Amino acid sequence: MKGRAIFFAVIALMVAADFATKHLVCVNLEPGKSVSVINGAVCLTLVLNKGLLFGVMPADNQAAAIIFSFAALTALFFLTPKFFPERHARTGSAFLIGGITGNLIDRIRLGYIVDFLDIKVWPVFNLSDVFICAGIGFMILYTIKPARN
């Protein structure tokens, strides 16, 4: 039971951090405006992203994006405890669920995703995207690490 509580607490913290950062950026920046954070290498740039996958793919159908997100969350939520008992996989699932949930909340509430982290060599992204990538990294670690006997 303790493991589940930690699992859900991690998810809740990620969703809260994502929401808080997006709120701060929306209150303090206008869309398309940038503020340099680290000598121009990292900027805060507010982008209202209606696309998929870092805004690279257009989202012609918001309903399809929402349905896909719900399906991914449902699969992760129900399959994780049964098929991924290892810590790396559970951690990866928590990060994936937290990230997907953060972006799904935006898509449902606003009709777009708030992006703001701009490193100039990649499309503008947000904290949920960082969590999703970290979750994928943890899942990769789980699949390549040697099994315990």
Verify whether residue 60 is a known catalytic residue. no
Residue of 18, 106, 115, 118 marked active site = 115
* Beta-bridge partners for 43: 36, 118
- Whether the Cβ atoms of residue 29 and residue 46 lie closer than 8 Å to each other: yes
Instruction: Using DSSP, state whether 76 is helix, strand or coil.
Output: helix
- Whether the Cβ atoms of residue 54 and residue 129 lie closer than 8 Å to each other: yes
Residue of 18, 106, 118, 129 marked active site = 129
Instruction: Using DSSP, state whether 138 is helix, strand or coil.
Output: helix
Verify whether residue 106 is a known catalytic residue. no
Which helix H or strand E contains 46, and what residues bound it? Answer: strand 42-49
Q: Go through 33-42 and write b for each residue having 16 or more CB atoms within 10 A of its CB, e for each that does not.
A: ebeeeeeeee
Question: Which candidate, 141, 143, 118, places its Cα nearest to that of 31?
Answer: 118
What is the set of active-site residues?
Answer: 115, 129
